[in-house]
Every structure is written in C-alpha cells, then in structure tokens.
Amino acid sequence: MQIAHSIEDLRRLLKPTKQRTFVPTMGNLHEGHLELVKVAKQTLPEAISV
C-alpha cells in the first residue's frame, strides 16, 4: 500500500499511462467497500480508494 499525503505525492505515485479503478469510501470502510475493492482489483491491476 502506498499513501499520498499531498497532491504532489499523489502525482509522483501515479504514472499517467496506467489504468486504475477508483473505489470512493469517504473513510467509512465496511464489508461492501472491501467487496468493491476485490472486484476492482479483478478488473484492473491497481485500485485506489479514498
């Protein structure tokens, strides 16, 4: 897991040519979110959650 603490960190971590899935959680994680992350990881190799 990589954690970005700023926009600059995020830009440095993300390579513009890679495709990723995004799972918005708003910090309130529950089993449904974990299932969404599993499906996202099956679709593309990288998933991002916020």
Amino acid at 42: Q
Residue 38, SS3?
helix
Give yes or no: 33 in active site: yes
Token pair recorded at residue 37: 């992350």
State the catalytic residue, choosing from 14, 21, 25, 33: 33
Cα–Cα distance measured from residue 29 to residue 22, given in angstroms and rounded to the nearest whole number: 14
Q: Which residues are catalytic?
A: 33
